Each structure stands twice: as C-alpha cells, then as structure tokens.
Structure 1
Amino acid sequence: MDYSTGNENWQTSKPADLQRITVDIPRRFSRLQMNAVDHIKGAHTHAMRNSRWLRSSLARLLPLLLLAGLFSGADAAGPHLTTQTNDPLFGDQWNLYDPDSAGQAITPDINAPTAWDITTGTFETVIAVLDSGVDLDHPDLSSKIWTNDDEIPDNGIDDDNNGKVDDINGWDFVENDNRPQDEDGWGTFMAGIAGAATNNGIGISGIAWNTPIMPVRVLTRDDVGQATARMDDIVAGIRYAVDNGARIILLGFYVEEWNLTAAQRAALEEAISEADSAGVLLVAPVGDHGLAGNPTVYPAALPAVMGVTATDRNRERLPAAGHGSFVDIAAPGVNLRSLLPEGRYDPPASGTEFAAPHVAGVAALIWAVNPSLTADQVRDFMRETADDLGMPGYDEFFGFGLLNAAMALQATPHLLQITPHELHFLVNEFGVISPPSQRIINPNTGGLTWQARTQAKWLVIEGLSETTPSSVTVTVDLSTIPNCGRYAGQIIVESNQRNRANGEQVVDVILEFAKATCEHAYMPILKR
C-alpha cells in the first residue's frame, strides 16, 4: 500500500461491513485465523475459543476490598442498581450494568448506575468523536449533538473565522463540508456508548447523559470497503476539536506503525502533543491485531493517549486485542448494543474501538464533578480505581485494570459548584417579603458535604436538604431589622474537601424595602 502525507489515503483498521458482526463468534475466530493479515475485515466480534486458557492464565482477579475501604461510600460488594433509566434497551447494556453479576466483588460492567448517583454529566464538557462522523438525525443522539454557538446557522458566512462556513454541528474533513454525517456506522456506535440521549424513553443509555458530542468526520471507505483516511484530515480534525472547546477527543481508529511513514507519524505526534498541552484528554483503542503479529498501533501508542483494550462479560480480554506497554486500561468491548445510522440499534458489535468510548464517557463524568482537574489527573483517577485483572498490578494485557466509573467518581475530589451567587429579597409596603425564601444549590452531591454560614443577623439559613441536588434554604428575619432601607449581607459556603479548587465561595444577599415603606427614598447600605 502507498502511504504518504498530503492527499493520498492511508488505511486504518476497521471492519469492511458492520453486518459481519452478526456472524457467530466461533466462526468469526476461524475467519480471523485464515485472514490474519487481511486488516481483520469485520473482526469487531471475535471468538472466545481461547477463553478457558485466558481464564486460567490471564484473568486472575484481585478484588478491590482494600481500595474500597479508602473511599467514602465505595461498595466492595458490587453495584446496586440505584439510578435507573427508562430507556427500553438499558437491560441489554451489560457493559453499563450487569444484573447477573450483582453482589460480586468485581463485575464485568463499569458500574454506571452508582456513578450516576453522583453525576450524569454536564453540558460544559464536550466529547469530540474523530471517526466516520455520526448520524446527526438519530432519535437517540440528535439532541446531544454539539452546537457551535459562535456560528450563525445557514448564513453562508464563517462567523467565527475558523475557516469553516456554517460549522454548526462539527465538520466533515472528508467531504470538506459542514455536515459530518455517518455513512458507515462506526462513529455513531461510539458516540452512542459515550453519550447517547438517556432517560428519554427510547433506545439505549449513554454514559454521560448531558455531555455534548462533537462529530468530526475523518474516515471513509475505499472501493473494497476498507476504512481509509488522510493524515492531513486526522491532524486537522484534532486541531478543530481543540480549537472548538472539546475537552475529550475520542480517536476511534488505529493504524499499525509499519503503515505510517516517518512524516505521517511526526504530523500525528505534533497534533496529539498540541492537544495534550491544551489540557485535552485523548483516548484511542489499542487495536484488534493481537493475534495477527500484535503490532504497535497509533495513536494509542503515543504517551499522551489513553490506550484502551476490550473485555467481555466474563471479565476476560478480547483475544484479538492488542497488548503491550501502550495499554492503559480495559473496558467492556464484546457484544455491545449501541446506535447505528438510520435510527437503528442492531446488530451488536465488538472490538477495542467500542471499549474506548467508555473511557471518554467516564472522563466526562469526572470533569462534571470537578472541572478544575487536569487531563493527567482525570487519567490517573480512572487508572488508580480500575478493578485489577490479569497479573496483580499493571500488566500489558489489561493495563491498570477494568474501568470502574463509580469508584473513579467516588475517588475524585468533588468541586463545590454552588448556584446562584446572588440573592435579592424585596419587602413591599405591606411588609411581605418576596420571594419568601430562596435556595442555594450544590449540584455535585456525591462524596461532598458542605455548609453555609453568615454574620448577617437578619439572614436565616436552614440546613442541607436530603434531596439531590443538595441545597440550603435562605429566609429573612425582619424582626432583627431596626429600620427600613437597603441591606447587604454575605453567605459563606465551604465544603469538607478544602483544597486549592475548593475554597470558600461567597453568595451576596441584598434586602431592599419598597420606597413607600421608608421615610427616606434611599438609605445607606447597612452591613450586619
């Protein structure tokens, strides 16, 4: 094959046809053996013929009983289904919650419901999916598509001066237009795992309910159905995602090192380094060539990228998954349900490409509870709280272990994010206070306790609510006010996790009497 920078195509490893994933697993394994170097076309499902051998030699478990004791609220007895969704296919998503393993010390799922008790994500954290685009009209994804607020829709003008006209919902670098529509299915499938619309009564559940998905199309198919891309498009796509505010970039492809020229690798490394320096977390699959020479694959092999391998419902590694020092962490990646173009949900699929979105989704949840964290810190929280599989400690097959969303969030120092930061009370001519009470809310409740205090005698603060999100109620005691006029006070809010990012926060409170009730139209502000 001919590889070069510029406009010539280079091939990435993707299935030739997603319909192939309906083939039963043993037959898939046989095909993989016969066509080991044929770019593993259709190899997103793999046989578990070697599962018995893997179970004895690679899949030894190290329960997190000691680790669980370190974190408040961590449950070593396995996940309990707490936060539930009304999505009808959630019961098929063993990767998020596996009821058959409830009560086990280590489960095959990522323990999503317990994580959702803490947060379901925030609109401020954006996941860019660099792959084949996404189905922009899928009923389980359309509401989650990122919107470029700096661009005016359909006016034919590059309003934000980024070189892309009307890039409202991302960019298609293959066709060089503003509609990154998925024609192949890979990108849509990944986007669905990371962040499908959730609790909307249809389809599946995504990991990060509220996190926008930024579609960046860089992959297409050649005449024989093989996934191809131009390095120029990959690099431009990474830079586009960074420049437009993506905090997480899911690189859904992999390419063997021998299929990259020195110039291509240098260009990729430079773009990845720029994104890393900008504080972006980069995630990529470790590839499905573990039984075909186990080549080093990029971009997962770059130090700034989290390389993700795939595990099945028995907590065993996908036999064809790549292995080596570039494996950071494992996540479910066998027989998964997600989204496909044209509003479809079937058939299921397997592969390290579909394990990687779990890491992107959990990273978005971590940043939701503490946006002050760096990408390195987010990466470390996922690594350090993973369920150890294989050899004790880090190994080149499972990395640091199986991703555990709940443990990662419980270990994350939660950021106090109160709202609002200003309250205004008005007393009318009849002495009625409006509004009679107001709430100060902290949306991040998991693992974080907080309190509010004031020196203003006329302010009354009632204790923390038992509901989620937690809150305090603020009222005014007029009996302590000697005269009508205008008063200003402050409420100081602080948490039990005092650190640089979690310092005291101030809520300014104004109490004002209607002019008709006062002898003077205006009185000095009195701080009490």
Structure 2
Amino acid sequence: MPNDNLFSELWGMNNTGQTGGTANADINAPEAWDRITGNSSVTVGIIDTGIDYRHADLLNNLWRNLKEFKGVAGVDDDGNGYIDDLYGIDTYNGDNDPLDDNSHGTHVAGTIGGVGNNAEGVTGVAWNVKMAACKFLNASGNGDTSGAIECINYFNGLRAQGENIVATNNSWGGGDFSQLLKDAIDASATAGILFIAAAGNDTNNNDLNPSYPASYESSNIIAVAATDHTDSLADFSNYGATSVDIAAPGVDILSSVLTTSGCPAFSPESAAVYHDGFEAGLGQWSLLGYLGSNPIYNNPSYWWQQNNAVNHTGASSASDSLSGNYANSTVSSMTKGLNLSAVSSPLCGGLWLKGQAEYTYDYLYIYLSKDGGATWAQTIGATGTFSDWTKVTFAIPEDFKNVRLFIVFSKS
C-alpha cells in the first residue's frame, strides 16, 4: 500500500466501498504492486491537452528529451524536426511547449503515472514510469485530426530513435473515418506501440455506429469503456461486444489537476501584491451570484458543488452558500477591481480550491478582464475533484495589469 495522502480516495485502484460503491470493484492495484510498481525505462506518450510538467506529483515521472536538454538551445539536437522539444510538443499551437491549459491531460497523467509512495497526492497505476506529452487539444478541449496525427507520428519518430515508447494514451474521440489517422495508428503498430483509446462518452454501441479512433480495425488499438464504483458500465460510456476490448474505472476519478500555468507554484496567501483570506468576510470582493447570461459562452450549462469548509489559511472561505448543485444556465462568480499597473512582471494569481466538478463535463474557469467586464480572457480551466484544499496558480498577462478579476464556477 502506498503512503500517498489521497490514495484512500482512489476507489478505482482499491475499492473498499469508501464512495458507497461495491467493495473490490477496482483494478486490484495493490495486488499488482505486490509484483511490480512500475519501470522507469518505459515511456507512455500522452496525446491530449498537454501535461502540467511542473506538477510536484508528476515531475519525477516525466519523460525528458535528454538530447535536447544536453544540447544547444535553439537547435534541433536530435534531428527529429522539432527544436528544444524538452517534454514533448504542442501541435495545436505549433510549438515545443506541451504545457497543459485545460487539466484533462494532467488528470490522465496522474492516473497513469502519478508518483507512488511519495506521501503526496494521488498514486498512478505505475509508480515509476516516464510520460511524454503531445498537446493537440486547446484550453477548451478542442483540436483537429491533423494535430492528433502529428502527435502519433512524433511518438513513432521517438521510438525509431531508440526511445522506449510502449504505448500512447488517447482519451479523446470524434469525427468521421480518417484514412490518414488510421495510417498513423497502423504505423505505430508496426513500430511496436500500443494505442490505448477511449471507447467514447456518447452511450453509443460502437458495433453498430463506429466511434473513432477507438473503432479503427488496427491491431494495436485497445478500446476502453468506463465503469463506475459498482462495476457497472458508466451511464455515459460507449460499448460494443466486438469493438470495445476492456472496461476500466472512469467515473468520479480523483487525479492530479493543474497547479500552475505560467507561474511558479507559490502559496496564494504569500502573494507579494495582494491576498485575501476572507477571515472577515468578502471584504472588497463582490459576489455576483447568478448572472443570468454567461458573458463568455452562448447558452451553455453549469454545475458546481460548493464545499463551505474552512478556508486553507483562515476561518472562512468565499462561497455563495448554495445548498446543492448549480442549476443549468447559471453562472456563479466573484469580482474585484485591482489596479496592478505599478507592479513589475511577472505577475501571478492564485487561489485555494475545494469542491467537486464532474470530470470532463464541468469545469472551474478563471477569467480576467481588462475593459471593466466587457470582454473576458480565459487563463486556466480545471475539472475533477478537489477533495482537499488545492493550490492553483495562473499568469496575468502584461496588458491585464489594470485588471478586474472574475472567477467562474462553470461547465463548458
């Protein structure tokens, strides 16, 4: 049994009925760990929204391109067509920085390879492993098939150069049949790389209506459905007697989330310019509550379950005191005018969170406005369970120095 402080909440690893489910409806992780806890010579490519490679519970299990780390900055030292791809690449933005700005890829990484037995955070299936990132999805979780193909080819290229890429994780899907995508997956099969694919989240029978990429007839694809804590098929999961290979825990899964976005992981209460512990109420913050219409999206739905527990550093926390979940088409938010024009760069914001957002469906978004609330810019989005006070930091761009901070608990 690992000593990670959140391990007892990982029902998918070891289900004791702690979430009201069925005992032993899990993957029998402790039994597997009696035999092996991982292998740091094995590398998994994560094709997703990127990875927060500054995350303390992931850092030691991240793949690093040593040829580039030991090479010359600005030079393609390993000759793979990408300059300074230290942790992987970002095909969405066309650069070498796969830093996650959504949290989905970071969440996936925590389940695959959150450092085990380090007395911190969650435990990955593999306590020791190397995870390489290829980001093809943006902050809203959207991307193009061409970006996914480039990611697959990137890992195929690393394998050809001697990196021990044994599998790619592909928790994404959508779109029609693409011969180019299938060709890339088949090439990874030839290279000896497994392609682990999400069966899909549309309650679809993939035998009758193929869902890609899980439904490509490629020899290296393992299509995975989702189960809940009673060992039942998740109510959103796709299925298929011949087209889906296996099922695994996929409902209310606790894992790592973004802790930083362009800023060091500092403690918000030690902010150099301004911080508020809410010990004496909301102070100068305005609690906007229900706004009626979302200033950012057109008619989405929202849900956030507030936890009114004690603030991380004081006797209170900012809350709208809802008794239940957010209703559809509502936005709960707080705002405060901050004039930061005299502050030297870099400028970072941060907050402590505690609560639950339904994984991949509901998100905490943080927006900034530089024009009094007429328009908003997203800095970070996170999803999943914050079972204990979790630190999140984000960068404030230079042109947002005279800023009004807007915090939205919302579903995209």
Name the TM-score class by shorter chain. 0.5 to 0.7
State the alpha-carbon separation in 2 of the partners of residues 346 and 130 from structure 1: 27
State the number of aligned residues: 257
Q: Secondary structure at the match of 1:247?
A: strand
Aligned equivalents of 1:137 and 1:322: distance in 2? 33
CA contact (8 A) 1:130 1:217 kept: yes
> Which of the two has greater strand per residue?
2
122, 127, 137: which one aligns with 1:204:
122
From 228, 234, 238, give the equivalent of 2:148.
234
**Counterpart in the other structure of 2:305:** none
Q: Which residue of 2 aligns with 1:298?
A: 212
Say whether 1:173 aligns with 2:88.
no
Query: Which position in structure 1 is the counterpart of 2:167?
Result: 248
Would you say the 8 A contact 1:333–1:351 is kept in 2? no
Given the alignment, which residue of 205, 219, 239 partners 2:137?
Answer: 219
The answer to whether the 8 Å contact 2:15/2:23 transfers is no
Provide the residue aligned with 1:100 in structure 2: 17
Structure 2 residue 190 is matched with structure 1 residue 271 = no
Q: Which runs of 5+ in 2 are unaligned?
A: 261-352, 362-412
Are 2:49 and 2:100, in contact at CA under 8 Å, matched by a contact in 1?
yes
Paired residue type of 2:147: D
Distance 1:106 1:94, change over 3 A: closer
Distance 1:345 1:242 in 2: 40
Aligned-pair Cα RMSD in Å: 2.5
Give TM-score, length-normalised by structure 2.
Answer: 0.58
The residue identity in structure 2 corresponding to 1:173 is: T
Contact residue 112 and residue 124 of structure 2 kept, 8 A: yes
Post-superposition shift, 1:348? Answer: 6.0
3-state DSSP of counterpart to 2:151: helix
Q: Is the 8 A contact 2:13 2:27 kept in 1?
A: yes
8 Å contact kept, 1:337–1:349: no
Deviations 1:288-339 (A, max 9, x none): 1116998421111013311100111111111221122321000001111001
Which aligned pairs between 1:84-483 and structure 2 lie closer than 5 A? Answer: 84-100=1-17, 107-151=24-68, 152=70, 155-221=73-139, 225=140, 227-244=141-158, 245=163, 246-255=165-174, 259-260=175-176, 265-290=178-203, 295-304=209-218, 305-324=221-240, 325-342=242-259, 347=356, 349-350=358-359
Map of 1:420 onto structure 2: none
Inter-partner Cα distance in structure 2 for 1:108 and 1:153: 48
Where do 1:4-43 residues align within 5 Å? none
C-alpha contact 1:339 1:346 (8 A) present in aligned 2:
no
Larger radius of gyration between Structure 1 and Structure 2: 1
Name the amino acid aligned to 1:198. Answer: G
Q: Secondary structure at the match of 2:39?
A: coil
Question: Residue type matched to 1:267 in 2?
Answer: L
1:450-503 deviations in Å (ceiling 9; x for gaps): xxxxxxxxxxxxxxxxxxxxxxxxxxxxxxxxxxxxxxxxxxxxxxxxxxxxxx
Going from structure 1 to structure 2, the CA distance change for 1:143 and 1:202 (only over 3 Å counts) comes to same
Q: 1:109 to 1:349 in 2, by over 3 A?
A: farther
Q: Which amino acid aligns with 2:199?
A: V
On the 8 A contact 2:39/2:128 being kept in 1, the answer is: yes
Cα distance in 2 between the residues matched to 1:274 and 1:172: 21
Give, as a single letter, the amino acid of the residue that structure 1 aligns with 2:182. Answer: E
**Where is the helix percentage greater, Structure 1 or Structure 2?**
1
Name the counterpart of 1:520: none
Percent identity, aligned pairs only, is 30
Distance 1:243 1:347 in 2: 39
Structure 1 residues 280 and 349: CA distance shift in structure 2, 3 A: farther
Alpha-carbon offset, residue 247 of structure 1: 0.9
* Whole-angstrom distance in 2 between the partners of 1:121 and 1:98: 21
* 8 Å contact from structure 1 (residues 295, 322) kept in 2: no
Q: 1:172 to 1:292 in 2, by over 3 A?
A: same
Name the aligned partner's letter for residue 136 of structure 1. Answer: Y
1:105 to 1:349, Cα distance in 2 relative to 1, 3 A:
closer
Is the Cα–Cα contact under 8 Å of residues 16 and 24 in structure 2 kept in the other structure? no
Task: State the distance in 1 between where 2:191 and 2:250 align.
Answer: 29
Letter of the 1:236 counterpart: E
Displacement after TM superposition at 1:242 (Å): 2.0
